[in-house]
């Protein structure tokens, strides 16, 4: 069955079931706008993403379920990166009329599986036809107490640079997606692909960091460690030195690099979409921060320091060299 | 200059200037998520729309300015239809790399001109490249006091059916957009085109209606009078009778119908996108409602009544006949 067989109202009805709607959703899908009751003394956080077929996902390489799941991960990472908790989602869909209903069903199943891990509810959206690539617009809303908001730009010289998990896994998976590589170890290939196609949402990582009161600046690693750290520094007229031996490289990336004679360090430094938090932490509270992340089951890696001298540097075996700000630029 | 020349960050910088940002926008464009301070004891209203090239706008027939302006009108209509006031906007853009920067500039100029009439601020968004039609995702947020929220479905038998302005103008303009019609009266043709391509946002109309406390149900006329009224009734297991002689037909539609030998009544009944409010009003407070709309300079037309018997009927010269629920269905 195709979307054109069911019509706009039919497709919306198909996807607008939410049995466990919490009481602060006053009106969900089905009216002119959704209505929510914001938490007392909370700030509202909001972010949106466009996911476009052949730019963000390739239908022959990923499943609709994974597209939905990863969309939630990307959205949650933004809210966590501000120190907030994700709550609500609006989904805009632009679909060619011949799109199979199964695509919509699976896309929603992926979103809902990820949502249910994060207690996110879909409260609205829009659906339209198009003559182009499938385009998905995700708007996520969350909340945080006013004193828990962490900006991207607020690092101070001497801050420790922290990441909340291993890096390079998503880039390793992307290598398999984009190239015809034969990997005899099927389980390894599958794990690497999952890192790229179905990354886990960084639930609670940013909000736990914000709650310590020891974080001066935070973002999520969506572009790449170098690019995101570079941006954090440039806007604050600061720099950073990171230490090669402290960068947590995803074991999947290391294994795949061995099989392909490629460099896992490059994936960790310049690869995107690991969706871990990147934070600048007051060094006096490093132990507290480590403990707070440990309590929610998150890794905690201190990989370098913020410097008053601008520029991004990497220290390896006692020698220090400059890092370029590689990364991915749409339109670039 | 094209978007690909400037890069993603450059395009975002170009559009992220908002000099008059009010103090309840804590963080606007440029961080991982926008942060706003919701009003005390207010509910948050939120709605999103996808605007797709060749589905919602045809570049040879409309200007980027008009695409932006109309997008705001469509968004504001949703918030007003809940009884709320529009405040914030997030803009997602998916653009082919060869898109001229001028398109983005003019699109934003149109949005900002409409926004400034409504005191809406752009607080965030996303931008990506694509190989397909230009796709614009608009997420609008507003607020309303909890006792001012008006649902789409809450009409009661005996309610008066109200519309806040003349109908059929947008459909008359659509006729010119879609057909090669030669209209000797150039000013008339231009006026009709503006109705379709650059309709005015229904500022304050829904919130004024909600404030009367006399409105049981409300929506905006985006699909068509018949379709939107039909939906209001069907979901409440009710019907409505409207009176032909009370339907306010846009004078532009009447003039254009004369020139083209077409029927302006059809445009008023079955045409969409006039973005007026459609409300079901307690008949005891009809005068108060009329006064409230008059105070904000809005028209007020009572065109019929809600009936306990299901179905949509029209009364003309004493005879009553059934109306079909024509209108526009994406995928239909």
Min Cα separation B40/chain A (Å): 8
Residues B305 and B169 reside in one and the same domain: yes
Q: What is the least distance, in Å, from the CA of B269 to any CA of chain A?
A: 20
Asked if B113 is an interface residue toward chain A (Cβ–Cβ < 8 A), one would say no
Whether residues B38 and A44 touch (CB distance < 8 A) is answered with yes
Sheet order of strands, A215-220 included: A215-220, A277-281, A160-163, A301-307, A239-243, A311-316, A319-322
> Does residue A137 share a domain with residue A104?
yes
Same domain, yes or no: B16 and B111: yes
Residue B18 has pLDDT above 70, yes or no: no
Tell me what the pLDDT averaged over chain A comes to.
93
- Asked whether residue B76 carries a pLDDT value surpassing 60, the answer given is yes
Confidence of residue A5 (pLDDT cuts 50, 70, 90): confident
- Residue A184 confidence (pLDDT) above 70: yes
Q: A199 with A164: CB under 8 angstroms?
A: no
What average pLDDT score do residues B323-332 get? 56
Q: Pick from B35, B86, B103, B104 the residue to mutate for testing the A interface (most A CBs within 10 Å).
A: B35
Question: Which residues does chain B have within 8 Å of residue A100's beta carbon, measured at their own beta carbons?
Answer: none
Contact B129 A331 (CB under 8 A): yes
Q: Which residues of B touch A125 (CB under 8 A)?
A: 48
A29 is in which domain, residue-wise? 3-148
- Average pLDDT for A89-108: 95
Listed by number, the residues of chain A in 148-177 with a beta carbon closer than 8 Å to a beta carbon of chain B are: 149, 151-153
* Same domain as A144, residue A101: yes
Q: Domain of A108: which CATH number?
A: 3.30.1330.10
Confidence of residue B327 (pLDDT cuts 50, 70, 90): very low
pLDDT for B278 beyond 60 = yes
What are the φ/ψ torsions at residue A30 (nearest 5 degrees)? 115, -5
Instruction: Say whether B93 sits in a helix, a strand or coil.
Output: strand
Mean pLDDT, residues B24-43 taken together: 94
C-alpha span between A139 and A184 (Å, rounded): 40
Q: What is the pLDDT of residue B329?
A: 47
The count of domains in chain A is 2
> How far apart are the CA of A295 and the nearest CA of chain B, in angstroms?
25
Last residue of a domain, one of B148, B174, B202: B148
Inter-chain contact B55–A8, Cβ cutoff 8 Å?
no
Tell me if A330 is assigned to some domain.
no
Helical spans, DSSP H, in chain B:
3-15, 64-81, 101-118, 169-178, 186-197, 205-211, 225-235, 251-260, 264-270, 286-295
Q: In Å, how far is B173's CA from the nearest CA of chain A?
A: 21
- Whether residue A302 lies inside any domain: the answer is yes
| Whether residue A253 is found in the same domain as residue A221 | yes
Confidence at residue B323, expressed as pLDDT on a 0 to 100 scale: 87
Alpha-carbon span B38 to A102, nearest angstrom: 38
Asked if residue A42 is part of any domain, the answer here is yes
B75 and B42 assigned to the same domain: yes
**What is the reported pLDDT for A293?**
98
Q: How far is B75 from chain A (nearest CA, A)?
A: 9
Confidence of residue A18 (pLDDT cuts 50, 70, 90): low
Which pLDDT value is given to residue B19?
62
Is the domain of A142 the same as that of A18?
A: yes
B41 lies within 8 A of chain A by CB? no
Same domain as A63, residue A106: yes
**pLDDT given at position A158:** 98
Q: For chain A, say whether B223 makes contact (Cβ under 8 Å).
A: no
Asked if residue A10 has pLDDT above 80, the reply is no
For residue A154, tell me if it sits in a domain: no
Residues A301 and A175 in one domain: yes
Does residue B226 surpass a pLDDT of 70? Answer: yes
pLDDT value, residue B325: 64
Q: Which residue of B has its CA nearest to A222?
A: B32
Tell me, yes or no, whether A207 and A244 share the same domain: yes
What does the pLDDT look like over A246-261, one tens digit per residue?
Answer: 999 999 999 999 999 9
Please judge whether B220 and A32 are an interchain contact, meaning their C-beta atoms are less than 8 angstroms apart: yes
Chain B positions in Cβ-Cβ contact with residue A45 (cut-off 8 Å): 33-35
Residues sharing a CB contact under 8 Å with residue A100, sequence separation 6 or more, in sequence order: A1, A2, A3
Are residue B24 and residue B73 in the same domain, yes or no? yes
Q: What is the largest CA-CA distance in chain A?
A: 66
Please tell me the predicted confidence (pLDDT) of residue A327: 44
Look at A126 and B50 and tell me if their CB atoms are within 8 Å: yes
Query: Which domain-ending residue is among A148, A179, A211?
Result: A148
Tokens of B105: 């500039």
- The DSSP bridge partners found for residue B306 are B240
The pLDDT assigned to A290 comes to 98
Interface ipTM: 0.93
- CATH code, domain with B313: 3.90.650.10
Best probe of the A interface among B1, B25, B32, B279, by most A CBs < 10 A, is B32
In a domain, B331, yes or no: no
Smallest Cβ–Cβ distance between A139 and the set B90, B220, B330 belongs to B90
Q: Are B225 and B163 in contact (CB under 8 A)?
A: yes
Q: What pLDDT sits at residue A328?
A: 45
B307 and B217 in one domain?
Answer: yes
pLDDT tens track for B98-152: 999 999 999 999 999 999 999 999 999 999 999 989 999 999 999 999 999 999 9
Q: Residue A155 domain-assigned? A: no
Q: Is residue A153 part of a domain?
A: no
The torsion angle over the Cα atoms of residues B21, B25, B29 and B31, rounded to 10 degrees, is 140
Record the pTM: 0.94
Q: Which of residues 236-255 of A touch B (CB under 8 A)?
A: none
CB contact under 8 A, B55 and A129: yes
Report yes or no: B82 at the A interface, CB cutoff 8 Å. yes
pLDDT tens-digit series, residues A314-327 = 999 999 999 876 54
Q: What is the pLDDT of residue A11?
A: 73
- What does the block give as tokens for B61? 């027939």
Give domain status of residue B182, yes or no: yes
A133 contacts chain B (CB < 8 A):
yes
Share of chain B above pLDDT 70, in %: 95
Distance CA(B207)–CA(A322), nearest Å, equals: 57
The mean pLDDT of A290-307, rounded to a whole number, is 98
Could you tell me which residues come within 8 angstroms of residue B28 by beta carbon, excluding any fewer than 6 positions away? Answer: B16, B18, B21, B34, B121, B122, B123, B124
Residue A162's DSSP bridge partners are: A279, A302
Of A121, A148, A175, the position where a domain reaches its end is A148
Query: Nearest-CA residue of chain B relative to A91?
Result: B48
């Amino acid at each position: 069955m195709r979307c054109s067989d069911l019509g706009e109202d039919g497709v919306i009805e198909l996807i607008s079931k939410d049995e466990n709607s919490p009481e602060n959703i006053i009106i969900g899908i089905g009216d002119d706008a959704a209505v929510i009751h914001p938490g007392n003394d909370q700030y509202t956080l909001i972010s949106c993403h466009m996911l476009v077929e052949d730019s963000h996902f390739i239908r022959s390489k990923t499943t609709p379920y994974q597209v939905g799941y990863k969309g939630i991960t990307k959205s949650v990472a933004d809210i966590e990166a501000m120190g907030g908790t994700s709550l609500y989602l609006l989904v805009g869909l632009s679909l060619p009329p011949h799109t199979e209903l199964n695509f919509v069903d699976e896309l929603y199943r992926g979103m809902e599986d990820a949502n249910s891990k994060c207690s996110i509810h879909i409260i609205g959206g829009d659906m339209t036809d198009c003559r182009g690539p499938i385009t998905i617009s995700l708007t996520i809303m969350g909340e945080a107490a006013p004193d828990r908001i962490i900006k991207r730009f607020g690092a101070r010289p001497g801050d420790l640079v922290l990441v909340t998990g291993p890096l390079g896994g998503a880039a390793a998976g992307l290598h398999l997606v984009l190239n015809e590589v034969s990997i005899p170890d099927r389980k390894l290939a599958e794990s690497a692909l999952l890192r790229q196609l179905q990354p886990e949402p960084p639930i609670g990582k940013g909000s736990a960091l914000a709650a310590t009161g020891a974080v001066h600046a935070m973002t999520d690693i969506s572009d790449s460690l170098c690019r995101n750290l570079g941006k954090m520094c440039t806007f604050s007229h600061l720099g950073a030195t990171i230490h090669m031996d402290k960068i947590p490289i995803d074991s999947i990336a290391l294994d795949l690099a061995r099989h392909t004679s490629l460099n896992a360090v490059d994936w960790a430094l310049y690869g995107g979409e690991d969706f871990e938090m990147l934070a600048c932490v007051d060094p006096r509270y490093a132990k507290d921060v480590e403990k707070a992340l440990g309590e929610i089951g998150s890794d905690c890696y201190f990989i370098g320091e913020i410097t008053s001298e601008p520029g991004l540097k990497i220290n390896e075996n006692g020698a220090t060299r400059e890092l370029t700000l590689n990364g991915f630029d749409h339109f670039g």
